[in-house]
């Protein structure tokens, strides 16, 4: 049986007032799944600059689990002018959080280039009547607070984008500034400005 190709469609915005968002989430039937510290370590290839192609090769470590993720390069089919990003993720889940060091050693042995480490506290909200939809609040060390609306689906881009925009309107997010670049790039930019927000392994 051929698996269905699921695509993650998302838009990220600067979060200016978390309390107001949490009230709207509760009123709209969303519940928090709890908060977790995530440490994302990003890599690139020696012959291809993933910062230029906007590809993602990442090791994500949490207290109880770890995974390696790859997202393909950005182009006109993966990113819209309104900051909506749609990409198919390839995720490899490892046994537990302690496997992160093995993942780092594997990528380094293959010649991958360490770019940056991003540390954040992530809180995920879901609503039982909205399958595949998540609203994520991230407190990114040295950078700030953000809210992402994410939908994982095999439906057509137009339908999923409509659902995403509908959710943003419901939660009063449509006026918040859109952020079209990854956290990786934001942390690197902050480091160049001398904030000291990047901690490399």
How do the domains of the chain map onto residue ranges?
A: 7-192
Band of pLDDT at residue 141, cut at 50, 70 and 90? very high
Structure tokens, 168: 């943003």
How is residue 2 annotated by DSSP?
P
- Total-model pTM: 0.88
Share of the chain above pLDDT 70, in %: 94
Band of pLDDT at residue 166, cut at 50, 70 and 90? very high
When pLDDT is averaged across residues 184-194 and rounded to a whole number, the result is 92
When pLDDT is averaged across residues 135-155 and rounded to a whole number, the result is 94
What is the pLDDT at residue 118? 98
What is the pLDDT at residue 8? 87
When pLDDT is averaged across residues 101-118 and rounded to a whole number, the result is 96
CB 108 within 8 A of CB 89: no
What is the pLDDT at residue 125? 97
Name the phi and psi angles at 111, rounded to 5: 90, 10
Out of 2.40.320.10, 2.40.40.20, 2.60.40.10, 3.30.420.40, the CATH code matching 7-192 is 2.40.320.10
Cβ partners under 8 Å of residue 73, min gap 6: 53, 54, 55
- Write the pLDDT tens digit of every residue in 38-95: 999 999 999 999 999 999 999 999 988 899 999 999 887 787 878 888 888 899 999 8
Structure tokens, 192: 């160049």
DSSP annotation string for 7-23: EEEEEEEE-S-HHHHHH
């Amino acid at each position: 049986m051929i698996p269905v190709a699921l695509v993650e469609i998302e838009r990220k915005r600067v979060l200016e007032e978390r309390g107001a968002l949490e009230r709207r989430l509760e009123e709209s039937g969303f519940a928090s799944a709890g908060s977790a510290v995530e440490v994302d370590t990003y890599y690139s290839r020696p012959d291809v600059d993933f910062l230029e192609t906007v590809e993602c090769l990442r090791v994500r470590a949490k207290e109880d689990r770890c995974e390696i993720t790859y997202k393909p390069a950005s182009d006109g089919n993966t990113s819209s002018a309104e900051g909506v990003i749609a990409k198919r993720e390839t995720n490899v889940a490892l046994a537990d959080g302690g496997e992160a060091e093995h993942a780092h050693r594997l990528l380094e042995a293959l010649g991958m280039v360490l770019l940056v480490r991003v540390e954040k506290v992530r809180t995920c909200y879901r609503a039982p009547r909205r399958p595949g939809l998540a609203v994520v609040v991230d407190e990114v060390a040295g950078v700030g607070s953000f809210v992402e609306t994410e939908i994982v689906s095999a439906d057509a881009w137009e339908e999923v984008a409509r659902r995403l925009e509908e959710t943003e309107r419901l939660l009063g997010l449509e006026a918040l500034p859109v952020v079209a670049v990854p956290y990786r790039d934001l942390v690197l930019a902050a480091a160049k400005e001398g904030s000291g927000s990047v901690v490399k392994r």
